[in-house]
Amino acid sequence: MQFKTQQLLIDHLYDVLNSKKTQSSQIKPINESESKDDQNKKPQKDIHQEQYKYTDETIQDVKIFRCPICSYCFKEWDFYEAHMMKKHNVSKVKETSMVLFKPNCTFCHLQYSNYKSYNTHLHKRHKNKILQRVRKQSSNKINKVVAKKTLFDFKSQDHISLEVDPINDEMSFNNDKDISEEKLQLRTITANVKVVAHQTILFQCSQCNIHFLTNASVKDHTEHLSLDDSECTICGRLFKNKDIHLHMEQHKYSNYITVNICKGQDTQEVHKRILHKCPSCAVHFSKEGILKHHTVCKMSPSQSAYCKICDILISEDIKTSHYEEHNDQKLKPSDYEIVEFKKRKKRTFVRSHKRRKGGIPKYMFHLMQCKVCDCNILRAHYKSAIHFRSLCAHLIKYVCKYCGLVFSNKSINSHRKLHQKCKDLSIRDFTFYDLKTGKKILPSIPVFPKCDSCDKHFITKFEVKRHVCNRYNYLNCPKCDMKLSQTAYDLHMPFHDLVLSNEGLIQNPTIEENPPSSCSVCGKNKINAVFSCNNCILAFNSYDEAIEHCHMHRDLNEIIIDKIECSICDLQFDKNRYDEHKKFHEDFPDAECNHYKMDVFYFGSHNDKWLKHVFGIDCSQDTVDEILKNSIYRHETRVKMRLFHRGSSGVNVYKCEKCDNYIDSNGIHEHYMACDQNISTNNEHNDNSNNSIVIFNGKEDEDYNKKIASMKKFYVLYECRMCHVVVNRKCEHVCVVGDYKDCGTCGLVFNAHEYEAHVEKHKRLNSFKENFMKVILLEAKEQKPLKSKHQVSKFSGMVCDYTFYKCLNCDVCVRDYRSTFQHYCLIDAAKSKCNICDLVFDEGKLKGHLKLHDTDPYFVRDTMFIQSFSPKNYIKNHVESIVDNEISTVVSDDSVTSSKNDFNTHSERKINIYKCKCGLHYLSEATAQTHLKKCKGKIKLKQSKQNCSKCGLHFSPDVLFKHLIEHHGKKDVTFKYEVIQITELVDTKMKS
């Protein structure tokens, strides 16, 4: 015979050996007790079974240690103890008495003469039944494995019942005495076990609505709604008193708990339907399998099978039972509860009274202070012999760079981790006690390392060695007259500002702290300068406020802000700045403000040009320096900046937050542009604590700086494409005949009530001209019948017409008018929808459309005009319009007058325009004759034609360019066109 594994060979040899032994011991008793006739009548096939049957006479009176869980027998205590610890994970096995060996198998009717054969029989024949028996006792399972991911364990208390009823569906024990012995033996080993429970799963009784941590507890409980039930203060669920403290541990992991409602024997089935998913290999295991698998997952792959119904991978151990559940019980994927086996840290229980700031235990904020070494020790760990015996003077001390407290080498690391968890932690959050008396005290002021030459104190000895005496300025403490560096000064002063109260340390109310106001930080000055934005007609109390307002401009248009006008100086402020400005008038009623105006059009230029624009030529340089003395934008305005440290010297040093280098004030913008390219532009920094530190190029300002750089230098206006009147984009415009006026400066048409404001804006802003104006055509919300003609705008600046043509059949949009003739509705063609304006395009056209959205902030759905067309009807109507000469002109006595020039205020000229039957117009007769020879008057749909946006006539591209220059390029001349039809008769006459 051949065997696949070595273990199978060994098992076979044991079977052969045992069969020979039993055969020799059984032949004689059987022959004596039975007659020869009965022996001859016995079938040959039953002889093999008789080899495994024994009588009581052959059984040896041997005492053994029997496992109360799986019924294995052991002769020696060491083997029994090892079995309980290894197979059943019992952490501590208590001594138990030996019992007589019983040959009857617990699971079948066979008998064995010795315990070794009995154990071999259990291992080979009933391995699966033993595993099922252990699983059915899951609530009392003896498990010492700490479940770090999906499950957590707790030590059982004295009042937790851990009785295990014998579970055997095939055969029970022979008598009640044997059962009681096994129960008693099991109790002796369950005095110190750990109960396994799920992190986020509870089991609820359907009768009394009490929740349990394990499924077997639901099945075993008999009292429904007793008086000792407890309610969870977090989720409001009912529990037994013995389970409430374990349930509170569940809330440390999550407040979202899944509840399975169980009814009697259904609890076991519910428990079987919980699958535990390994996040590394995505295989699903049972509760026992996942605990064994997670430790070896990365070292060896697990054997798995694919379930087509659940669409998951399941372990080979549960494959058979899982398939049976689908086939026999008709379970669906929704009947299973999948728990992901995550490795996570316990979530701090914030609701507990033992927690404090940031979920950190309260004892971490109680410090004992030793008066000998001035070190701080945790109150929970203060019983140190070296401090009690005053032998700590030689200890090396470390100063915390966050709060200034002094710790020993062992305590400084844990204290630093505390600061990492709580970013805003300060010494006011701690409570200090005297090490000897235990009374509350104020913390002693730490003594920082000092330089013997200059008597200046630093935080570390390394800074003492590194510094150069008399090179850097120092700060004097006003309380103790101690010379300190800037960092040491910031840590030293809070110790003077503390007083002792019953609640702990609070800030001393007798010491006045004068934080810098917005004016002092942003550059309030002695000259009382007020700055205003001419574009928004908004005033500011400081130069920095005005610069940050300019950063908000995305174009030259006015930013709509609620304003309050000052009755004294007639300036308009927003609400917050008005209160500050009003207080200035109340404090100094006779003082006058110097008013400086700025135009956002000039913002973004070099700082020298910008200052010259703001202050003018007449303002002296000394006055400008005095006004901008404390301004952080004194040297550069094109980058967002923030004040990091306020000094007293009035000197600003600039630090790039991205590369952590100090930059010269004249090269801030250049460094900002080159910082990403790793071009070194750093400046040698003078470590003077009296200087103010201004930081820029921070990560949070990245988008802000991009918007500053992409500001559009033009004024945006909106014009109705029907009546040519400038309208407010936010209002619903209705085309009606009214009192309209055209601007003599830019040529735009306005309503009478808006005309004066527009003219005043021309006078107020020098940059408000046609060259820097952008007009966007809008669609009217409503069109009423017009009795007279509208005025036509004579604006010659930038006009944006966001018109799209939408096919009625396939909803595809095209950008220009000519594409409508070449459009074909293809059903299978790939289409893409713009997620910004919801228009549909051919797949290749969407990329260019999205680029317009990125580059033009005004290219939005509100400014678009969608015109529908049907491919066949549209082409047919267009052909008829060419034949019938249906163009947008007014014909009177063979003369055509441009509809764009219905009125003229300047000189008029009459010119001839020559037209072919194909619809094209030409400026000279000779050019028209040359075209007629090739065209023959036929209408060609694919012929290149362009419509003049001024007069509506059709030209070829090269002729249209000349037409625009000659006929629409002169503002003081209005042309009247006489259209002459070129026919074959004319052509024949010319030939003759």
Q: Tens digit of pLDDT for each residue in 557-598?
A: 888 888 899 988 889 998 888 888 888 888 888 777 888 999
pLDDT bracket for residue 985 (50, 70, 90): very low
Question: What is the arithmetic mean of pLDDT over 546-550?
Answer: 92
pLDDT bracket for residue 227 (50, 70, 90): very low
Could you report the per-residue pLDDT of 894-905, keeping only the tens digit for each?
333 333 334 344
pLDDT bracket for residue 599 (50, 70, 90): very high
Question: What is the arithmetic mean of pLDDT over 826-835?
Answer: 82
Could you report the per-residue pLDDT of 301-347, keeping only the tens digit for each?
678 888 888 888 888 888 888 888 888 888 888 788 787 765 544 33
**Do the beta carbons of residue 195 and residue 214 sit within 8 Å?**
yes
pLDDT bracket for residue 137 (50, 70, 90): low
pLDDT at 287 over 50: yes
885: left (phi over 0), alpha (psi -120 to 50) or beta: left
For residue 902, which of 750, 987, 794 has the smallest C-alpha distance? 794
CA 71/CA 83 separation, integer angstroms: 11
Could you report the per-residue pLDDT of 160-203, keeping only the tens digit for each?
333 333 333 333 334 444 444 444 444 444 334 445 567 778 88
pLDDT above 90 covers what percent of the chain? Answer: 5
- Contacts of 162-168 with C-beta under 8 Å, sequence gap 24+, read 162/187, 162/190, 162/193, 163/187, 164/68, 164/69, 164/137, 164/140, 167/133, 167/136, 167/137, 168/106, 168/107, 168/133
pLDDT bracket for residue 617 (50, 70, 90): confident
Question: What is the arithmetic mean of pLDDT over 643-649?
Answer: 77
pLDDT bracket for residue 538 (50, 70, 90): very high
Could you report the per-residue pLDDT of 33-45, keeping only the tens digit for each?
344 444 444 444 3
Which pLDDT score is estimated for 43?
42
Q: Return the top range by mean pLDDT from 131-135, 212-216, 663-667.
A: 663-667
Cβ within 8 Å of residue 291, ≥6 positions away: 143, 145, 147, 151
Work out the angle at residue 522's Cα, subtended by the Cα atoms of residues 711 and 511, and round it to the nearest 5 degrees: 150
Q: Return the top range by mean pLDDT from 50-54, 66-70, 256-260, 672-676.
A: 66-70
Cβ within 8 Å of residue 616, ≥6 positions away: none
pLDDT at 366 over 70: yes
Could you report the per-residue pLDDT of 767-820, keeping only the tens digit for each?
898 888 999 988 765 555 544 455 667 888 888 889 999 998 888 999 888 888
More confident residue, 249 or 227: 249
Which pLDDT score is estimated for 506?
40
CA 563/CA 532 separation, integer angstroms: 13
**Do the beta carbons of residue 893 and residue 980 sit within 8 Å?**
no
pLDDT bracket for residue 270 (50, 70, 90): very low
pLDDT at 547 over 90: yes
Q: 3-class DSSP state for residue 352?
A: coil
Which one-letter DSSP state was computed for residue 784?
P
HSE value, Cβ hemisphere, 13 Å, CA-based, for 892: 5
Which pLDDT score is estimated for 55?
40
Which alpha helices (H) appear in 42-190, and where do they start and end?
47-50, 77-87, 115-125, 127-136, 176-189
**Cα dist from 380 to 66, 349, 433, 435, 526, whole Å:** 47, 20, 12, 12, 57
Question: What is the arithmetic mean of pLDDT over 745-763?
Answer: 88
pLDDT at 503 over 60: no
Structure tokens at 840: 């549909």
747: left (phi over 0), alpha (psi -120 to 50) or beta: left
**Cα dist from 642 to 529, 532, 631, 730, whole Å:** 22, 22, 11, 35
More confident residue, 943 or 857: 857
Which pLDDT score is estimated for 161?
33
Cβ within 8 Å of residue 89, ≥6 positions away: 142, 143, 144, 145
Which pLDDT score is estimated for 892?
35
- Residue that has been written with the tokens 């007058």 in this structure: 897
pLDDT bracket for residue 384 (50, 70, 90): low
For residue 323, which of 307, 301, 347, 304 has the smallest C-alpha distance? 307
pLDDT above 70 covers what percent of the chain? Answer: 70
Average pLDDT across the chain, whole number: 73
More confident residue, 730 or 706: 706
Q: Return the top range by mean pLDDT from 472-486, 799-813, 821-835, 867-881.
A: 799-813
Work out the burial of residue 61: count CB atoms within 10 Å of its CB; fewer than 13 is exposed, 13-18 middle, 19 or more buried. exposed
Work out the angle at residue 536's Cα, subtended by the Cα atoms of residues 531 and 540, and round it to the nearest 5 degrees: 25
pLDDT bracket for residue 747 (50, 70, 90): confident
Beta pairing partners, 807? 869
Q: Return the top range by mean pLDDT from 86-90, 102-106, 352-356.
A: 102-106
113: left (phi over 0), alpha (psi -120 to 50) or beta: alpha
CA 772/CA 717 separation, integer angstroms: 11
Least confident of 59-68, 185-194, 353-362: 185-194
